[in-house]
Amino acid sequence: MARGIEDEYYEIALNLVQECAKILKDAITGSKSINKKLGDWDLVTEYDKKIEDIIIGKLKNLYPSHKFIAEESTGQKLPELTNDPTWIIDPIDGTVNFIHGFPHTCVVIGLAIQKEMVLGIVYNPIHEQLFTARKDKGAFLNGKRIKVSEIQDISKALICIESGFMKIDHMREKTVERIQAIARVAQSIRSLGVAALTLCYVALGVVEGYYIEGPGISTWDIAAASLIITEAGGIVVDRVTGEKIDIMKPRAIGACNEKIAKEFVRIIREADEKVSLRNKQ
Is 238 an annotated catalytic residue? no
| Calpha distance 153→86 (Å, rounded) | 37
Annotated binding site: 71, 90, 92-93, 221
Q: Which of 45, 86, 95, 105 is catalytic?
A: 95
- Give the span between the Cα atoms of 230 and 5, in whole angstroms: 22
Given a contact cutoff of 8 angstroms between Cβ atoms, the answer to whether 239 and 252 are in contact is yes
Q: Of these residues, 92, 146, 151, 247, which one is catalytic?
A: 92
User: What is the distance between the alpha carbons of residues 233 and 34, in angstroms, rounded to a whole number?
Assistant: 38
Of 48, 90, 213, 231, the catalytic one is 90
40 is catalytic: no
CB 89 within 8 A of CB 56: yes
Three-state secondary structure call for residue 50:
helix
90-99: b or e for each residue (b if 16 or more CB lie within 10 Å)? bbbbbbbbbb
One of 48, 71, 213, 263 is an active-site residue; which one? Answer: 71
By C-alpha distance, which of 134, 37, 146 is closest to 92? 37
241: left (phi over 0), alpha (psi -120 to 50) or beta: alpha
Catalytic-residue membership of 86: no
In one-letter notation, the amino acid at residue 29 is T
Given 48, 52, 72, 93, which residue is catalytic?
Answer: 93
Residue 158: φ, ψ to 5°: -95, 120
Q: Any residues with CB less than 8 A from the CB of 248 and at least 6 apart, and which?
A: 78, 81, 219
Show binding-site residues for Mg(2+). Answer: 71, 90, 92-93, 221
Known catalytic membership, residue 221: yes
Query: Which H/E stretch holds residue 134?
Result: strand 129-134
Just list the catalytic residues.
71, 90, 92-93, 95, 221
